[in-house]
Amino acid sequence: MLDVFDRCRLHDDFEPVAELGAYPYYRPVQERPATGEVVVDGRVLVSAGSNDYLGLSADPRLKEAACRAIRLLGTGTSGSRLVNGSLALHETLEGRLAAFLGQEAAMVTATGFLANLALSALVGPRDAVLADQLIHASLIDAVRLSRARMRRYRHNDLAHLERLLRECDPGAAGLILTEGMFSTTGTLCDLPGIAALARRYGARLALDGAHDIGLLGAGGRGAAEHHGLEGAADLHTLAFSKCFGTTGGAVAGPGQIIVYLRHHARAMIFSAALSPASTAAALAALDVIETEPERRRRALAAADRLRADLAGLGFETGASRTTIIPVHVGDTVMCCRLWRELFDEGVFATAMVPPSVPEGRALIRVSTTALHTEAQLDRIATAFAAAGRRLALIPS
Protein backbone atom coordinates (compact mmCIF):
# COMPACT_ATOMS: atom_id res chain seq x y z
CA MET A 1 0.00 0.00 0.00
CA LEU A 2 1.03 3.60 -0.51
CA ASP A 3 1.52 5.70 2.59
CA VAL A 4 -0.99 8.55 2.74
CA PHE A 5 1.55 10.57 4.73
CA ASP A 6 4.01 10.50 1.78
CA ARG A 7 1.85 13.09 0.03
CA CYS A 8 1.88 15.51 2.91
CA ARG A 9 4.51 17.97 1.80
CA LEU A 10 4.34 21.73 1.49
CA HIS A 11 3.28 22.93 -1.94
CA ASP A 12 6.39 23.06 -4.19
CA ASP A 13 5.99 26.82 -4.55
CA PHE A 14 6.42 27.30 -0.82
CA GLU A 15 9.84 25.67 -0.62
CA PRO A 16 11.72 28.52 -2.35
CA VAL A 17 9.52 30.95 -0.46
CA ALA A 18 10.40 29.35 2.89
CA GLU A 19 14.11 29.40 1.96
CA LEU A 20 13.81 33.15 1.32
CA GLY A 21 12.19 33.61 4.75
CA ALA A 22 9.03 34.82 2.98
CA TYR A 23 6.55 32.16 4.09
CA PRO A 24 3.48 34.31 4.86
CA TYR A 25 1.07 31.98 6.66
CA TYR A 26 0.25 31.09 10.26
CA ARG A 27 2.10 34.16 11.59
CA PRO A 28 0.80 34.42 15.14
CA VAL A 29 -0.43 37.80 16.30
CA GLN A 30 0.66 38.31 19.91
CA GLU A 31 -1.34 41.43 20.72
CA ARG A 32 -3.52 44.12 19.19
CA PRO A 33 -2.15 47.15 21.04
CA ALA A 34 -4.33 49.73 19.26
CA THR A 35 -6.86 49.75 16.46
CA GLY A 36 -5.24 48.99 13.12
CA GLU A 37 -2.12 47.56 14.78
CA VAL A 38 -0.87 44.05 15.53
CA VAL A 39 2.22 42.72 17.27
CA VAL A 40 3.94 39.93 15.34
CA ASP A 41 7.40 38.60 16.25
CA GLY A 42 7.50 41.29 18.94
CA ARG A 43 7.14 44.13 16.37
CA VAL A 44 4.22 46.55 16.10
CA LEU A 45 2.88 46.42 12.53
CA VAL A 46 0.07 48.25 10.75
CA SER A 47 -2.67 45.77 9.97
CA ALA A 48 -3.53 45.89 6.27
CA GLY A 49 -5.38 42.63 5.75
CA SER A 50 -8.17 42.50 8.29
CA ASN A 51 -11.77 41.66 7.42
CA ASP A 52 -12.95 43.58 10.47
CA TYR A 53 -14.09 46.35 8.10
CA LEU A 54 -16.20 48.21 10.64
CA GLY A 55 -13.54 47.92 13.35
CA LEU A 56 -15.92 46.17 15.73
CA SER A 57 -13.82 43.27 17.03
CA ALA A 58 -12.33 45.44 19.80
CA ASP A 59 -15.40 47.61 20.33
CA PRO A 60 -16.16 47.94 24.07
CA ARG A 61 -19.88 47.33 23.43
CA LEU A 62 -19.21 43.97 21.76
CA LYS A 63 -16.70 43.00 24.44
CA GLU A 64 -19.14 43.87 27.21
CA ALA A 65 -22.00 41.97 25.52
CA ALA A 66 -19.73 38.92 25.15
CA CYS A 67 -18.65 39.11 28.81
CA ARG A 68 -22.25 39.42 29.99
CA ALA A 69 -23.23 36.35 27.94
CA ILE A 70 -20.33 34.37 29.39
CA ARG A 71 -21.36 35.33 32.93
CA LEU A 72 -24.94 34.23 32.25
CA LEU A 73 -24.42 31.21 30.01
CA GLY A 74 -20.78 30.10 30.28
CA THR A 75 -18.14 29.68 27.60
CA GLY A 76 -19.57 26.82 25.54
CA THR A 77 -22.85 25.47 24.19
CA SER A 78 -22.11 21.77 24.84
CA GLY A 79 -23.83 20.48 21.72
CA SER A 80 -25.51 21.16 18.43
CA ARG A 81 -28.56 23.37 18.12
CA LEU A 82 -30.76 20.37 17.29
CA VAL A 83 -30.15 18.52 20.53
CA ASN A 84 -28.88 20.48 23.52
CA GLY A 85 -26.97 23.54 22.31
CA SER A 86 -29.81 25.95 21.43
CA LEU A 87 -29.94 29.20 23.37
CA ALA A 88 -32.69 31.80 23.58
CA LEU A 89 -29.90 34.18 22.53
CA HIS A 90 -29.50 32.28 19.22
CA GLU A 91 -33.21 32.75 18.56
CA THR A 92 -33.03 36.45 19.39
CA LEU A 93 -30.16 36.83 16.92
CA GLU A 94 -32.01 34.84 14.26
CA GLY A 95 -35.08 37.04 14.63
CA ARG A 96 -33.01 40.21 14.44
CA LEU A 97 -31.07 39.03 11.38
CA ALA A 98 -34.22 37.99 9.54
CA ALA A 99 -35.86 41.36 10.25
CA PHE A 100 -32.69 43.24 9.27
CA LEU A 101 -32.45 41.45 5.92
CA GLY A 102 -36.22 41.50 5.26
CA GLN A 103 -36.33 37.68 5.24
CA GLU A 104 -38.84 35.36 6.89
CA ALA A 105 -36.31 33.45 8.95
CA ALA A 106 -32.64 32.89 9.69
CA MET A 107 -30.52 30.04 11.05
CA VAL A 108 -27.34 30.79 12.98
CA THR A 109 -24.36 28.46 12.47
CA ALA A 110 -21.03 28.11 14.29
CA THR A 111 -19.01 29.68 11.43
CA GLY A 112 -19.59 31.35 8.09
CA PHE A 113 -18.01 28.32 6.44
CA LEU A 114 -20.69 26.10 7.98
CA ALA A 115 -23.47 28.47 6.85
CA ASN A 116 -22.34 27.92 3.27
CA LEU A 117 -21.82 24.21 3.80
CA ALA A 118 -25.44 23.99 4.98
CA LEU A 119 -26.55 24.84 1.42
CA SER A 120 -25.41 21.35 0.41
CA ALA A 121 -28.72 20.05 1.83
CA LEU A 122 -30.63 21.83 -0.94
CA VAL A 123 -29.26 19.94 -3.93
CA GLY A 124 -28.39 16.37 -4.84
CA PRO A 125 -26.66 14.30 -7.54
CA ARG A 126 -29.29 14.99 -10.20
CA ASP A 127 -29.18 18.77 -9.72
CA ALA A 128 -27.16 21.52 -11.35
CA VAL A 129 -25.19 24.21 -9.55
CA LEU A 130 -23.92 27.17 -11.54
CA ALA A 131 -21.15 28.94 -9.66
CA ASP A 132 -18.99 31.97 -10.29
CA GLN A 133 -15.37 31.00 -10.95
CA LEU A 134 -14.23 33.00 -7.89
CA ILE A 135 -16.60 31.68 -5.21
CA HIS A 136 -15.28 30.82 -1.77
CA ALA A 137 -13.99 27.34 -0.92
CA SER A 138 -16.90 26.79 1.49
CA LEU A 139 -19.41 27.07 -1.37
CA ILE A 140 -17.34 24.74 -3.54
CA ASP A 141 -17.23 22.23 -0.69
CA ALA A 142 -21.00 22.53 -0.22
CA VAL A 143 -21.51 21.47 -3.83
CA ARG A 144 -18.97 18.64 -3.54
CA LEU A 145 -20.74 17.37 -0.45
CA SER A 146 -24.10 17.43 -2.24
CA ARG A 147 -22.68 15.58 -5.27
CA ALA A 148 -24.65 17.96 -7.52
CA ARG A 149 -23.14 18.74 -10.90
CA MET A 150 -21.17 21.99 -10.62
CA ARG A 151 -20.52 24.18 -13.65
CA ARG A 152 -18.36 27.28 -13.14
CA TYR A 153 -18.98 30.44 -15.13
CA ARG A 154 -16.28 33.04 -15.74
CA HIS A 155 -16.33 35.75 -13.10
CA ASN A 156 -19.51 37.79 -13.56
CA ASP A 157 -19.77 36.65 -17.21
CA LEU A 158 -23.53 36.65 -17.86
CA ALA A 159 -23.27 35.24 -21.38
CA HIS A 160 -21.31 32.29 -20.02
CA LEU A 161 -23.79 31.79 -17.17
CA GLU A 162 -26.68 31.86 -19.61
CA ARG A 163 -25.00 29.29 -21.85
CA LEU A 164 -24.54 26.95 -18.88
CA LEU A 165 -28.15 27.46 -17.79
CA ARG A 166 -29.34 26.64 -21.29
CA GLU A 167 -27.29 23.44 -21.25
CA CYS A 168 -28.83 22.24 -17.96
CA ASP A 169 -31.11 19.22 -18.00
CA PRO A 170 -34.64 20.70 -17.76
CA GLY A 171 -35.49 17.90 -15.31
CA ALA A 172 -32.77 19.03 -12.88
CA ALA A 173 -33.22 21.59 -10.10
CA GLY A 174 -30.88 24.55 -10.52
CA LEU A 175 -29.03 26.70 -7.99
CA ILE A 176 -26.80 29.69 -8.76
CA LEU A 177 -24.06 30.54 -6.25
CA THR A 178 -22.27 33.86 -6.10
CA GLU A 179 -20.70 36.16 -3.56
CA GLY A 180 -22.15 39.63 -3.18
CA MET A 181 -18.67 41.13 -2.78
CA PHE A 182 -15.89 38.79 -3.79
CA SER A 183 -13.38 38.06 -1.06
CA THR A 184 -10.21 38.06 -3.15
CA THR A 185 -10.92 40.77 -5.73
CA GLY A 186 -13.32 43.06 -3.84
CA THR A 187 -15.53 43.20 -6.95
CA LEU A 188 -19.33 43.06 -6.71
CA CYS A 189 -21.40 40.42 -8.43
CA ASP A 190 -23.58 41.56 -11.31
CA LEU A 191 -26.70 40.97 -9.26
CA PRO A 192 -29.21 42.55 -11.67
CA GLY A 193 -28.00 40.34 -14.53
CA ILE A 194 -27.64 37.16 -12.47
CA ALA A 195 -31.05 37.58 -10.80
CA ALA A 196 -32.72 38.13 -14.18
CA LEU A 197 -31.14 34.94 -15.56
CA ALA A 198 -32.13 32.99 -12.43
CA ARG A 199 -35.73 34.08 -12.94
CA ARG A 200 -35.71 33.40 -16.68
CA TYR A 201 -34.40 29.84 -16.27
CA GLY A 202 -36.20 28.99 -13.01
CA ALA A 203 -33.02 28.58 -10.95
CA ARG A 204 -32.73 29.59 -7.31
CA LEU A 205 -30.09 32.16 -6.32
CA ALA A 206 -27.99 32.02 -3.14
CA LEU A 207 -25.92 35.08 -2.33
CA ASP A 208 -22.93 34.82 0.01
CA GLY A 209 -22.87 38.14 1.86
CA ALA A 210 -19.87 37.31 4.07
CA HIS A 211 -18.02 40.49 3.09
CA ASP A 212 -20.80 42.88 2.11
CA ILE A 213 -23.53 42.49 4.74
CA GLY A 214 -22.78 45.25 7.23
CA LEU A 215 -20.61 47.17 4.76
CA LEU A 216 -22.59 47.92 1.60
CA GLY A 217 -25.92 49.67 1.08
CA ALA A 218 -27.15 52.71 2.98
CA GLY A 219 -28.57 50.44 5.71
CA GLY A 220 -25.69 47.95 5.64
CA ARG A 221 -27.85 45.20 4.16
CA GLY A 222 -25.18 44.29 1.65
CA ALA A 223 -24.77 43.90 -2.08
CA ALA A 224 -28.50 43.36 -2.64
CA GLU A 225 -29.33 46.70 -1.01
CA HIS A 226 -26.45 48.36 -2.87
CA HIS A 227 -28.03 47.23 -6.16
CA GLY A 228 -31.55 48.17 -5.01
CA LEU A 229 -32.53 44.51 -5.36
CA GLU A 230 -33.22 43.29 -1.87
CA GLY A 231 -35.72 40.67 -2.95
CA ALA A 232 -33.58 39.31 -5.77
CA ALA A 233 -31.77 36.47 -4.01
CA ASP A 234 -33.64 33.46 -2.63
CA LEU A 235 -31.13 32.85 0.16
CA HIS A 236 -28.44 34.89 1.88
CA THR A 237 -25.49 33.53 3.82
CA LEU A 238 -23.50 35.59 6.32
CA ALA A 239 -20.20 35.33 8.18
CA PHE A 240 -19.83 37.19 11.48
CA SER A 241 -16.03 37.09 11.11
CA LYS A 242 -15.99 40.23 8.93
CA CYS A 243 -18.28 43.21 9.63
CA PHE A 244 -19.72 41.66 12.79
CA GLY A 245 -16.30 41.55 14.47
CA THR A 246 -16.70 38.05 15.93
CA THR A 247 -17.17 34.51 14.59
CA GLY A 248 -20.22 32.59 13.42
CA GLY A 249 -22.51 32.62 10.42
CA ALA A 250 -26.11 32.42 9.29
CA VAL A 251 -28.42 31.51 6.43
CA ALA A 252 -31.47 33.74 5.90
CA GLY A 253 -34.44 33.13 3.60
CA PRO A 254 -37.99 31.76 3.40
CA GLY A 255 -39.26 30.21 6.65
CA GLN A 256 -39.97 26.80 5.14
CA ILE A 257 -36.45 26.54 3.68
CA ILE A 258 -34.82 27.51 6.97
CA VAL A 259 -36.86 24.86 8.83
CA TYR A 260 -35.76 22.31 6.20
CA LEU A 261 -32.10 23.30 6.63
CA ARG A 262 -32.37 23.08 10.42
CA HIS A 263 -33.30 19.40 10.00
CA HIS A 264 -31.25 18.40 6.97
CA ALA A 265 -28.05 20.45 6.93
CA ARG A 266 -25.35 18.29 8.46
CA ALA A 267 -23.24 21.39 9.12
CA MET A 268 -26.03 22.52 11.45
CA ILE A 269 -27.02 19.22 13.00
CA PHE A 270 -23.60 17.76 13.71
CA SER A 271 -21.60 20.77 14.89
CA ALA A 272 -21.74 22.45 18.30
CA ALA A 273 -23.76 25.67 18.38
CA LEU A 274 -22.25 29.16 18.27
CA SER A 275 -20.80 30.19 21.64
CA PRO A 276 -22.75 32.55 23.91
CA ALA A 277 -19.97 35.16 23.65
CA SER A 278 -19.99 35.20 19.83
CA THR A 279 -23.80 35.19 19.67
CA ALA A 280 -24.02 38.18 22.01
CA ALA A 281 -21.20 39.96 20.16
CA ALA A 282 -23.00 39.45 16.83
CA LEU A 283 -26.18 40.94 18.32
CA ALA A 284 -24.26 43.95 19.62
CA ALA A 285 -22.58 44.30 16.20
CA LEU A 286 -25.99 44.33 14.53
CA ASP A 287 -27.01 47.25 16.78
CA VAL A 288 -23.94 49.16 15.57
CA ILE A 289 -24.48 48.21 11.93
CA GLU A 290 -28.05 49.52 12.13
CA THR A 291 -27.21 52.78 13.88
CA GLU A 292 -23.72 53.87 12.77
CA PRO A 293 -23.67 54.14 8.97
CA GLU A 294 -20.64 56.45 9.16
CA ARG A 295 -18.48 53.39 9.86
CA ARG A 296 -19.29 52.05 6.39
CA ARG A 297 -18.50 55.40 4.82
CA ARG A 298 -15.17 55.67 6.65
CA ALA A 299 -14.04 52.15 5.71
CA LEU A 300 -14.93 52.71 2.04
CA ALA A 301 -13.37 56.20 1.97
CA ALA A 302 -10.12 54.80 3.45
CA ALA A 303 -10.05 52.22 0.66
CA ASP A 304 -10.62 54.87 -2.03
CA ARG A 305 -7.71 56.88 -0.71
CA LEU A 306 -5.33 53.91 -0.42
CA ARG A 307 -6.38 52.48 -3.78
CA ALA A 308 -5.55 55.81 -5.44
CA ASP A 309 -2.14 55.88 -3.70
CA LEU A 310 -1.28 52.32 -4.75
CA ALA A 311 -2.50 52.78 -8.33
CA GLY A 312 -0.56 56.06 -8.48
CA LEU A 313 2.61 54.17 -7.54
CA GLY A 314 2.06 51.89 -10.52
CA PHE A 315 0.47 48.83 -8.86
CA GLU A 316 -2.36 47.05 -10.63
CA THR A 317 -5.32 47.23 -8.24
CA GLY A 318 -8.11 45.77 -10.39
CA ALA A 319 -11.72 46.88 -10.61
CA SER A 320 -12.66 46.86 -6.93
CA ARG A 321 -14.42 49.89 -5.43
CA THR A 322 -14.84 48.32 -1.99
CA THR A 323 -12.68 47.88 1.14
CA ILE A 324 -10.75 45.03 -0.50
CA ILE A 325 -7.85 46.22 -2.66
CA PRO A 326 -6.20 43.40 -4.60
CA VAL A 327 -2.62 44.27 -5.54
CA HIS A 328 -2.00 41.93 -8.45
CA VAL A 329 1.40 40.30 -8.64
CA GLY A 330 0.79 37.09 -10.64
CA ASP A 331 3.71 34.86 -9.65
CA THR A 332 3.35 33.08 -6.29
CA VAL A 333 7.00 33.38 -5.23
CA MET A 334 7.10 37.09 -6.12
CA CYS A 335 3.85 37.62 -4.22
CA CYS A 336 5.34 36.06 -1.08
CA ARG A 337 8.50 38.13 -1.51
CA LEU A 338 6.40 41.29 -1.69
CA TRP A 339 4.52 40.15 1.41
CA ARG A 340 7.88 39.74 3.24
CA GLU A 341 9.16 43.14 2.11
CA LEU A 342 5.95 44.74 3.39
CA PHE A 343 6.34 42.86 6.66
CA ASP A 344 9.87 44.21 7.02
CA GLU A 345 8.50 47.70 6.29
CA GLY A 346 6.06 47.30 9.20
CA VAL A 347 2.89 46.31 7.33
CA PHE A 348 0.97 43.08 7.91
CA ALA A 349 -0.94 42.28 4.70
CA THR A 350 -2.30 39.03 3.23
CA ALA A 351 -0.69 37.02 0.44
CA MET A 352 -3.31 35.17 -1.61
CA VAL A 353 -1.92 32.40 -3.77
CA PRO A 354 -3.51 29.34 -5.45
CA PRO A 355 -5.85 27.65 -4.56
CA SER A 356 -7.34 30.82 -2.98
CA VAL A 357 -6.92 32.50 -6.38
CA PRO A 358 -6.56 30.97 -9.87
CA GLU A 359 -3.07 29.80 -11.00
CA GLY A 360 -0.80 32.70 -11.99
CA ARG A 361 -3.05 35.28 -10.29
CA ALA A 362 -1.34 35.63 -6.89
CA LEU A 363 -2.04 38.92 -5.17
CA ILE A 364 -1.52 40.87 -1.99
CA ARG A 365 -4.93 41.48 -0.50
CA VAL A 366 -5.05 44.83 1.24
CA SER A 367 -8.15 45.80 3.16
CA THR A 368 -9.18 48.90 5.05
CA THR A 369 -11.34 49.41 8.11
CA ALA A 370 -13.35 52.27 9.57
CA LEU A 371 -10.62 52.76 12.16
CA HIS A 372 -7.54 53.12 9.95
CA THR A 373 -6.01 56.55 10.56
CA GLU A 374 -4.58 58.72 7.79
CA ALA A 375 -1.12 58.07 9.29
CA GLN A 376 -1.65 54.31 9.08
CA LEU A 377 -2.82 54.56 5.46
CA ASP A 378 0.31 56.65 4.73
CA ARG A 379 2.47 53.94 6.29
CA ILE A 380 0.86 51.26 4.14
CA ALA A 381 1.36 53.28 0.94
CA THR A 382 4.96 54.14 1.86
CA ALA A 383 5.73 50.49 2.58
CA PHE A 384 4.30 49.44 -0.80
CA ALA A 385 6.39 52.13 -2.54
CA ALA A 386 9.63 50.95 -0.92
CA ALA A 387 8.89 47.22 -1.30
CA GLY A 388 7.59 47.52 -4.87
CA ARG A 389 10.66 49.47 -5.99
CA ARG A 390 13.08 47.03 -4.36
CA LEU A 391 11.42 44.16 -6.23
CA ALA A 392 11.14 46.18 -9.48
CA LEU A 393 7.35 45.71 -9.50
CA ILE A 394 6.84 49.45 -9.99
CA PRO A 395 9.00 52.12 -11.61
CA SER A 396 11.62 53.63 -9.32
Ligand X SMILES: Cc1ncc(COP(=O)(O)O)c(C=O)c1O
- Active-site annotation, residues: 183, 211, 242
Residue nearest to ligand X (CB): 112
Q: Give yes or no for residue 345 binding ligand X (CB under 6 A).
A: no
- Determine whether 236 is exposed, middle or buried from the number of CB atoms within 10 Å of its CB (0-12, 13-18, 19+): buried
> Interior CA angle at 326 toward 44 and 153, to 5°?
145
Q: Give yes or no for residue 112 binding ligand X (CB under 6 A).
A: yes
DSSP 25: S
> Interior CA angle at 339 toward 337 and 343, to 5°?
115
Binding letters toward ligand X, positions 24-63, x by CB under 6 A: ----------------------------------------
Toward ligand X, which CB reaches closer, 113 or 343? 113
Binding letters toward ligand X, positions 150-179, x by CB under 6 A: -----------------------------x
Q: Find the part of the chain contacting ligand X (CB under 6 A) among 109-117, 258-266, 327-335, 372-380.
A: 109-117
Q: Give yes or no for residue 249 binding ligand X (CB under 6 A).
A: yes
Toward ligand X, which CB reaches closer, 110 or 383? 110
Q: One-letter amino acid identity for 42? A: G
Residues paired with 181 in a beta bridge: 188
Q: What is the 3-state secondary structure (H, E, C) of 41-83?
A: CCEEEEECCCCCCCCCCCCHHHHHHHHHHHHHHCCCCCCEHHH
Q: Give yes or no for residue 320 binding ligand X (CB under 6 A).
A: no
Using DSSP, state whether 347 is helix, strand or coil.
Answer: strand
Toward ligand X, which CB reaches closer, 35 or 237? 237
Euclidean distance between CA atoms 24 and 13, whole angstroms: 12
Q: Give yes or no for residue 241 binding ligand X (CB under 6 A).
A: yes
All residues at 6 or more sequence positions from 34 whose CB lies less than 8 Å from its CB, including other chains: none
Toward ligand X, which CB reaches closer, 242 or 296? 242
Q: Give yes or no for residue 208 binding ligand X (CB under 6 A).
A: yes
Binding footprint of ligand X on the chain (CB under 6 A): 111-113, 116, 136, 138, 179, 183, 208, 210-211, 239, 241, 247, 249
